[in-house]
Amino acid sequence: MLNKNIEVFIGCEAEYEEAGIVLYGAPYDSTTSYRPGARFGSKAMRSESFGLETYSPYQDKDLTDLKVFDSGDLELCFGDSSLALEDIERRAEAILEDGKLPVLLGGEHLVTLGAVRAVFKRHPDLHVIHFDAHADLREDYLGARLSHACVLRRCWELLGDKRIHQFGIRSGDREEFCWGERGHVDTRRFDFQGLAETIETLKGRPVYFTLDLDVLDPSVFPGTGTPEAGGVTFDQLRDAVELVCRGTKIAGCDIVELCPGYDPSGISTATACKVLREMLLALGEQRQVII
Amino acid sequence: MLNKNIEVFIGCEAEYEEAGIVLYGAPYDSTTSYRPGARFGSKAMRSESFGLETYSPYQDKDLTDLKVFDSGDLELCFGDSSLALEDIERRAEAILEDGKLPVLLGGEHLVTLGAVRAVFKRHPDLHVIHFDAHADLREDYLGARLSHACVLRRCWELLGDKRIHQFGIRSGDREEFCWGERGHVDTRRFDFQGLAETIETLKGRPVYFTLDLDVLDPSVFPGTGTPEAGGVTFDQLRDAVELVCRGTKIAGCDIVELCPGYDPSGISTATACKVLREMLLALGEQRQVII
Amino acid sequence: MLNKNIEVFIGCEAEYEEAGIVLYGAPYDSTTSYRPGARFGSKAMRSESFGLETYSPYQDKDLTDLKVFDSGDLELCFGDSSLALEDIERRAEAILEDGKLPVLLGGEHLVTLGAVRAVFKRHPDLHVIHFDAHADLREDYLGARLSHACVLRRCWELLGDKRIHQFGIRSGDREEFCWGERGHVDTRRFDFQGLAETIETLKGRPVYFTLDLDVLDPSVFPGTGTPEAGGVTFDQLRDAVELVCRGTKIAGCDIVELCPGYDPSGISTATACKVLREMLLALGEQRQVII
Amino acid sequence: MLNKNIEVFIGCEAEYEEAGIVLYGAPYDSTTSYRPGARFGSKAMRSESFGLETYSPYQDKDLTDLKVFDSGDLELCFGDSSLALEDIERRAEAILEDGKLPVLLGGEHLVTLGAVRAVFKRHPDLHVIHFDAHADLREDYLGARLSHACVLRRCWELLGDKRIHQFGIRSGDREEFCWGERGHVDTRRFDFQGLAETIETLKGRPVYFTLDLDVLDPSVFPGTGTPEAGGVTFDQLRDAVELVCRGTKIAGCDIVELCPGYDPSGISTATACKVLREMLLALGEQRQVII
Amino acid sequence: MLNKNIEVFIGCEAEYEEAGIVLYGAPYDSTTSYRPGARFGSKAMRSESFGLETYSPYQDKDLTDLKVFDSGDLELCFGDSSLALEDIERRAEAILEDGKLPVLLGGEHLVTLGAVRAVFKRHPDLHVIHFDAHADLREDYLGARLSHACVLRRCWELLGDKRIHQFGIRSGDREEFCWGERGHVDTRRFDFQGLAETIETLKGRPVYFTLDLDVLDPSVFPGTGTPEAGGVTFDQLRDAVELVCRGTKIAGCDIVELCPGYDPSGISTATACKVLREMLLALGEQRQVII
Amino acid sequence: MLNKNIEVFIGCEAEYEEAGIVLYGAPYDSTTSYRPGARFGSKAMRSESFGLETYSPYQDKDLTDLKVFDSGDLELCFGDSSLALEDIERRAEAILEDGKLPVLLGGEHLVTLGAVRAVFKRHPDLHVIHFDAHADLREDYLGARLSHACVLRRCWELLGDKRIHQFGIRSGDREEFCWGERGHVDTRRFDFQGLAETIETLKGRPVYFTLDLDVLDPSVFPGTGTPEAGGVTFDQLRDAVELVCRGTKIAGCDIVELCPGYDPSGISTATACKVLREMLLALGEQRQVII
């Protein structure tokens, strides 16, 4: 007897019961203001992961040693952000309830809000570590408060001051930077300077880790909605991801803003897959103690 | 002294006061369910129109003989369809108030609803002629009632039975076709058969003409969100557009669903520009009597 | 509890036991002589089928009324055609043994040979109906006898004279055409003339139907390895597919040579999906009596 | 001992002495006003011709039966049209002096002028048959008289009234059409109506045949600088090319305006190659008597 | 009353009278010898600038604080370089006459010559700082003296020895390098070493700054006619641009050789926009004293 | 009299007799497991080399000073790896017999095996220096022993332990790395650390140098079948290539895995051409003593 076609991220073939980590995709990009297409990010990562090895020579570990489950993409309603965020929040909650770590694949950055809401309910002392080219701290964007450009501002409303730690930021309007500097969030410009210290101060506290892939330089990651020259290299990002995933108590995380359609060479998707592999391997180590 | 850079559709260089026809763009695509990018349609048409001549050897007329004004694109809020539709409606109303014909450049098909609302207020006896590959008659789409897939259904709620006349339809779910056949709308499948008769029956009545460019075969119009094989040829469409624009009392019209990003060859945009030129030239004839 | 991510062709969600038709993909293209990439065809059809409706306004039927099972792609060994053909043959046999109709998604045209071998074992009186731009009747190609360019010649060795009926052929070397005309195969050039008569003569006999999508004109199907101007239109193909699938006793069939990478607009994949839908709907009718 | 790498159009492998037809490429596009890139046309045709068969099932003839020599591309000076045209003229003259037929591969349409000058010197009673979407009859273009948009006007200055016969024209400014209709040239709009009659009247007279490939519909020929919807089909063009090449005394000819860079699918280049094959095969028949 | 559609580089919305800096585009590329398309550079920068913020976190300044006017693109005659250069020169003169700084957006590198001629007339003691991958010092190119490959040689004829300071050069023929080393120009290979010293020696003297974007590594700037591996990073260029624009008395400047068509990801245009923003912000500081 | 069109890598225009280095292309990619297309690599390098200068400012040498012959591409049988490898081996032998250095242009990495076999016959003490992102040390790949993923393993079977020196390796399955570390091959991860020492130990011994271009970071070399983030920069590779080609006794070498179709910007091909130029110039120095 034949099996139905199953498509999961490479090496993520555990059964749900045994899994410590659960992938879920949020193919949403309705608020993208410049170039849409991040909706295709999670599917592309799953589909193109077969060009990747499960083994990492960086960490000397293999995805097949972990127990990761891939639940596929949510079916979200385009054009209605409230509804979409509710669906994402509900999925994250379900995963958390089963004692597993939810790893969200975007989609645009707004999807993070759904996941953070779910994690925050269980961890009111939650901190957020945020890698990104853009500050995403606007109060609203052309009238919309639920927008990718405001997502960290919405998280701040939930978490309060000094809970959000941004790295790699190199774009925003003046007001965003000024607002942040008034003590609301901790913004590091351009690169990962200060990350080790931040991690030190967060030791033992629950952390949500949101990774907007456009923190990478567009040379190695052209496939994103709003490319910003001057980003970090792949090796810098890989190091930083390992640092965060091993050094803090991750209670939820995501990878967002892969827009495969803008990169016919496929290197953006391949890079996103590799970042996800390194993230999962680094998370795998401590999975038993985190949640 | 130098002038600021002005960019208008070729041959549409009239001043507002003297113009009988006014172009306005609605770069919105947040509800697109399959492949987004129609937001770039209106801008691409304006930008690429310079590969086109102003003169039509089909109609032996020239755009420079008309008085058309190009007001550019609205700045719409992505992810909030209600807000976007209000802005479109308001712009259409302003144009109508000044006694000019509003010609809307999409954007996805949902934008039509804003324009129809404005025209309907002035013409409660309005009929809609609709060229499209898709019926767009769903009650809702994944929970959203403001969706490109429901736009003609929303128009029907406004206008009532037997006011919508569809041509070229070759895709939809079974329910859409069944609902329409219960006497709500007049749906012609696959091509323009019956168009001349329909126009005859609409003589003298105000008509809103909405043209979803995916009614064209994908061979000549690949650059659209949801290509459907088996469409009409350019010459069939050109004839039909002329028929409608000369044969009825147009009170508003639009061209939607050009998605230039999916067509690196540019033939879709070039074709859209040519259709718009033929539409404007056919409309031009009767501009003094319509509104 | 969450489910693993399942990805099937739209509307093909039956369980194996209940299914009358079974899809299986053969992502192979190692013998492609001009432009490779047909290996991505089956996956692209599955992935992009979600831009299609399950309902056909042409046949007034819906895929959800049928019971079709999608078994996904075989994992084939690139560069070893014998091995790959064995795997394909074995899969086809397994499906036939369970009393279901095997529908193969290519891949390059060579994959047809594996399926024909399996069907021929059960039906020694098998005929082949072959739609293609190319005759594929070479004795060998640069020394290789297992080549896409020779696949119908290999089928002929199995089936014998007057069993292969080709339509739409508009390319080949002189020798291929001459050889065929010596009574070995029945080749109709350029279009489907004579198809109805052929079907009449095959009434009641088992038929393998192999559809190389490059029989379509490159305008509507640019995404193929060896595009040949002067092909049939989508509507001509749709009619012909319906004719074959309703008019003969299909014992196996395939759709091959979609090469999605050469068509960034995606219209080729969308067209392939639509052809497959129409094929499945036409096959569905008689499924209970065929095998 | 090994041979240097030789690259010629498929089947055009004759030695110069024995050849009746000589191909020469003019990779020039400096005056292209909309989208440049026709400079890559001749090279692409040579390079991609290997996806084509040498045998034509339309004419039942094979390129290998002819004696065609491919002299490659001229090295032309970009940005200096006078210089480039001189080089082209000189090459055409050299070929004519050796009693062979010069077949020019463009490049933009301006290159035709160089060839027509050379042929005109030998045949003062020369007529031109011109297939194109565009009239190319402008007096000048933004001040330049040596421009693709003026090339037939420049030919007219050489040849005089009633010597130029245009077919398929569907674009131009009003003045071009008006000027032509004053008895200067014979312009047929949109298709090949009247071609057979024209050929009849030209029987026995020397003809230069210039084929701008954008006469084809952009659906099958998207790869060109200025695509114009509403063109002829490949089969219509193939018939017309055969008609001209068999029915008149060709003294020189060209194929221009393939712009491969705008068509990632490659169907434009494949179509251009097939048109050239059919042209050469039709020319081959009468090669001994023409020059 | 509605306004005509105006399209300017983001944040450059000053009125002409109040502006200190004036942008003007020269969409010319007729002498490009390898891959044309730089004609679309200035328009793409204007159009895509809306993906950029007006605020620079590098300089902590905002474009909206400056007074920059965008006069759009000149309408240049393709294929006639003399004519095109005259138009550019005339435009630069007009801007200079009004006491404003002309900032030219290419176009291929030849356009610089028009601007340098205009600036040189006012500043006979002019120096040129030149960032580029290519030396552009040829005496002629295939016979043409007005060619992108000769543009700095033509500038040298105007300015004389030791007035041109090149940085980042990593390509040229041997003769170009040798000629330069004979004391004619000051060429620094590969990077910006020596830039600070050069700026020191130019203190107080008028400088024309020409920036060929292919000085950037092709990884971050693939969209150019002749990509050369081994270039500088974005951050290196950004620093160097700031150094030049703040450290010298700029009398005119340009950004050339963006060829957006070769980069479907759009990162090249995004990077060009960001470089222009940083350049304008650095220039803005001293605008009152320069001219 | 005109010459047939000859197409060679720029500056490689020597006659065979006088040449010390001979280029030969192997357009094969049938075993590529992820994304095919390397078959187009050698042709693209030849064709696009005209965007490159023959002079290197890095080495201050010019290709025109060397005597390099370009024999073009072999005509290989797709889908039959044994046959293809035999053809490659035979060509390499012929070149070696004439006392010239064979430089192979791929194609996928499997083609190296043919060349190594030929060189090994003359040099049983042969070492291999291998630059690559991937270890290529698998025993078999999905059953195939002749696969790009196994090519260095096949070389090891020929040469024995400690003869293969790998650099830049950052991908493989765990087993490959483990097998290598058991003393079979010398694998350096991620970069060129240890290269100088390795070269020192190989002084005077014959070396085959195989360069898989995917050792480069995908940012500068996206056009390859299996891109792997985290690679070396162009300048690092250029230095390393010079080091190897000057520091060891090269008995054969190759450049493989350029897949131009995945990089519409062309920077991958341009980079490959530049690497080949630097390799040839570095090899040129010692050509008289090596073989």
B132 among annotated binding-site residues: yes
Report the C-alpha gap between B108 and F166 in whole angstroms.
53
CB contact under 8 Å between F71 and D47, yes or no, is no
Mean pLDDT of chain B: 94
Range of the domain at A158: 16-285
Query: Distances in Å between the alpha carbon of F237 and those of A113, F129, F211, F279?
Result: 43, 13, 10, 10
Within-domain flag for D117? yes
Within-domain flag for A71? yes
Q: What pLDDT is recorded for position B4?
A: 87
By three-state DSSP, how is residue D222 classified? coil
> How would residue E2 be classed by pLDDT, with cut points 50, 70 and 90?
confident
The CA distance from F167 to the nearest CA of chain D, in Å, is 33
Give mean pLDDT, residues A201-223. 96
Report the C-alpha gap between B43 and B37 in whole angstroms.
12
The amino acid at residue A239 is D
A212 among annotated binding-site residues: yes
**Partner C contacted by A90 (CB < 8 A):** no
Q: Report which of residues E291 and A44 the model is more confident about.
A: A44
Question: What CATH number does residue A156 fall under?
Answer: 3.40.800.10
Mean pLDDT of chain A: 94
Helices assigned H by DSSP within chain E:
41-48, 81-97, 111-122, 151-159, 174-179, 195-202, 234-247, 267-284, 287-290
Q: Which residues of C251-289 are buried (b: 16+ CB within 10 A; e: fewer)?
A: bbbbbbbbbbbbbbbbbbbbbbbbbbbbbbbbbbebbee
Question: How much of chain A exceeds pLDDT 90, in percent?
Answer: 91
Kindly report, residue by residue over D17-75, the tens digit of the pLDDT.
Answer: 999 999 999 999 999 989 999 999 999 999 999 999 999 999 999 999 999 999 999 99
Within-domain flag for F123? yes
Reported residue count of chain B is 291
Question: How much of chain D exceeds pLDDT 90, in percent?
Answer: 90
By three-state DSSP, how is residue A251 classified? strand
What residue of C is the nearest CA neighbor of F78? C31
Contacts of C50 in chain B (CB under 8 A): 34
Q: What pLDDT is recorded for position F202?
A: 95
Give mean pLDDT, residues B18-35. 95
Contacts of A65 in chain F (CB under 8 A): none
> How would residue A142 be classed by pLDDT, with cut points 50, 70 and 90?
confident
Give mean pLDDT, residues D280-291. 68
Kindly report, residue by residue over A265-281, the tens digit of the pLDDT.
Answer: 999 999 999 999 999 99
Q: Which helix (H) or strand (E) holds C253?
A: strand C249-256
Q: Give the pairing of strands B55-56 and B61-62.
A: antiparallel
Within-domain flag for E1? no
Kindly report, residue by residue over F186-195, the tens digit of the pLDDT.
Answer: 999 999 999 9
Give mean pLDDT, residues A61-83. 94
Give mean pLDDT, residues B55-65. 95
Nearest CA to A254 out of A155, A171, A140 is that of A155
Within-domain flag for E150? yes
By three-state DSSP, how is residue A194 classified? coil
**Residue D290 clears pLDDT 70, i.e. is over it:** no
Report the C-alpha gap between D59 and F219 in whole angstroms.
49
**DSSP secondary structure string, A137-153?**
--S-BTTBSSSGGGHHH
**Residue A289 clears pLDDT 90, i.e. is over it:** no
Q: What pLDDT is recorded for position C285?
A: 65
> F97 CB contacts (<8 Å, ≥6 apart)?
none
> How would residue E278 be classed by pLDDT, with cut points 50, 70 and 90?
very high
Of C189, C219, C226, the CB nearest to D51: C226
CB contact under 8 Å between D265 and C218, yes or no, is yes
> Rounded to 10 degrees, what is the CA torsion of C270, C271, C277, C279?
-160
Whether the Cβ atoms of residue E74 and residue E118 lie closer than 8 Å to each other: no
Q: What pLDDT is recorded for position E4?
A: 87
Q: What pLDDT is recorded for position F285?
A: 65
**Partner F contacted by A285 (CB < 8 A):** no
**Partner A contacted by B86 (CB < 8 A):** no
Contacts of C53 in chain B (CB under 8 A): 171-173
Query: Distances in Å between the alpha carbon of A251 and those of A120, A204, F14?
Result: 9, 11, 66
Q: What pLDDT is recorded for position F286?
A: 58
**Partner E contacted by B99 (CB < 8 A):** no
Helices assigned H by DSSP within D77-150:
81-97, 111-122
Nearest CA to D106 out of D97, D115, D98 is that of D115
Within-domain flag for A140? yes
What residue of D is the nearest CA neighbor of C35? D51
**Residue B290 clears pLDDT 60, i.e. is over it:** no
| Rounded average pLDDT per 10-residue block, chain F, 291 residues | 90 94 96 94 96 96 95 93 95 96 97 98 97 95 90 96 97 94 93 96 95 97 97 98 96 97 96 98 68 40
The CA distance from C175 to the nearest CA of chain A, in Å, is 40
**Residue A290 clears pLDDT 60, i.e. is over it:** no
Whether the Cβ atoms of residue E219 and residue F267 lie closer than 8 Å to each other: yes
Contacts of B110 in chain A (CB under 8 A): 79
Question: How much of chain E exceeds pLDDT 90, in percent?
Answer: 91
Q: Give the angle subtended at the CA of A25 by the CAs of A21 and A29, to the nearest 5°.
A: 150
Question: How much of chain B exceeds pLDDT 90, in percent?
Answer: 90
Report the C-alpha gap between A75 and A68 in whole angstroms.
21
Report the C-alpha gap between A49 and A59 in whole angstroms.
18
Angle between helices A151-159 and A111-122 (to 10 degrees): 10
Nearest CA to F156 out of F197, F210, F228 is that of F210
Q: What pLDDT is recorded for position C26?
A: 97
Angle between helices D267-284 and D234-247 (to 10 degrees): 20
The CA distance from F171 to the nearest CA of chain A, in Å, is 7
Q: What pLDDT is recorded for position B3?
A: 85
Interface-testing mutation among D216, D265, D268, D271, with chain C (most C C-beta atoms within 10 A) = D265
Within-domain flag for D131? yes
What residue of A is the nearest CA neighbor of E264? A262
Whether the Cβ atoms of residue F208 and residue F128 lie closer than 8 Å to each other: yes
The CA distance from A188 to the nearest CA of chain E, in Å, is 11
Contacts of E73 in chain B (CB under 8 A): 5
Give mean pLDDT, residues E99-104. 97
Q: What pLDDT is recorded for position D2?
A: 85
**Partner C contacted by F44 (CB < 8 A):** no
Give the predicted TM-score (pTM) of the model: 0.95
> How would residue A143 be classed by pLDDT, with cut points 50, 70 and 90?
confident
Mean pLDDT of chain D: 94
By three-state DSSP, how is residue A47 classified? helix
Q: What pLDDT is recorded for position F161?
A: 95
B136 among annotated binding-site residues: yes
Question: How much of chain B exceeds pLDDT 70, in percent?
Answer: 98
Give mean pLDDT, residues C74-93. 95
Mean pLDDT of chain E: 94
The count of structural domains within chain A is 1
The CA distance from E223 to the nearest CA of chain A, in Å, is 12
Give mean pLDDT, residues A53-76. 95
What values do phi and psi take at D65, rounded to 5?
-80, -20
What values do phi and psi take at D167, rounded to 5?
-135, 145
Which residue is associated with the tokens 């991220």?
A9
Largest CA distance in chain E: 64
Q: What pLDDT is recorded for position F3?
A: 85
Q: What pLDDT is recorded for position D285?
A: 64
Report the C-alpha gap between E235 and E220 in whole angstroms.
11
Kindly report, residue by residue over C130-157, the tens digit of the pLDDT.
Answer: 999 999 999 999 888 999 999 999 999 9
Contacts of D29 in chain E (CB under 8 A): 36
Subunits that touch chain F (at least 3 Cβ pairs < 8 angstroms)? A, C, D, E
The amino acid at residue F28 is Y
Report the C-alpha gap between E8 and B275 in whole angstroms.
27
Give mean pLDDT, residues D101-121. 97
Interface contacts (A, C; CB < 8 Å): 65
Report the C-alpha gap between A148 and A139 in whole angstroms.
11
**Residue B288 clears pLDDT 50, i.e. is over it:** no
**Partner E contacted by D45 (CB < 8 A):** no
Report the C-alpha gap between F190 and F173 in whole angstroms.
15
The amino acid at residue D33 is S
Contacts of C69 in chain A (CB under 8 A): 2, 4
Within-domain flag for F291? no
Mean pLDDT of chain C: 94
Nearest CA to B52 out of D144, D166, D134 is that of D134
